[in-house]
Amino acid sequence: MSIPRRLGRLAQGFVSSLQEDERFRERLRTSRERSEALRGAFEAAWKGASEEWRRAEERRTAEEAAAQRTSGWRSANTTFVPRKYPSNVLAAYDRLGLVPGASMEEADRKRRDLVKRFHPDRFSDPEKRVRAERVTAEINAAHDAIERHVAG
């Protein structure tokens, strides 16, 4: 008889003897009850949080609508100032997969992630290596464009 088969039979005997043990059954039952209680608590917390988020969003949209009605296009308490981005900066944000106006830390993080993914040294095939070099250059150029725009 092979060793895996012997081990399988040994494990089968161990499990069958555990199933007959009343303490083991009790422990399984309490574990199931505990996990069900935790699941119920998590679902209740999630439901409460999502309800709170929904109410906050409704309140925010109602306040914005009231502010627009009272003072026209822009209210006095609004701090948002529309920012005009040059087309090359918008393309750079798009190339990095960021929304315009993202922080420089976010741009740095995204650049690092993309360069790790598309670094030419990761590819042994010459065609893929050339493509990776081109993509890495595009990523670096996009990061530089964002950096120049933020600094200037």
pTM, to two decimals: 0.46
| DSSP symbols for 78-115 | ---------HHHHHHHHHHT--TT--HHHHHHHHHHHH
Q: Please give the CATH architecture assigned to the domain spanning 87-151.
A: Orthogonal Bundle (1.10)
Q: Which residues, including other chains, have CB under 8 Å from residue 98's CB and lie 6 or more apart?
A: 106, 107, 110
Mean pLDDT of the residues in the chain? 84
Domain boundaries, the chain: 19-71, 87-151
pLDDT tens for 22-46 read 777 777 778 888 888 888 888 888 8
Residue 77 pLDDT > 70, yes or no?
no
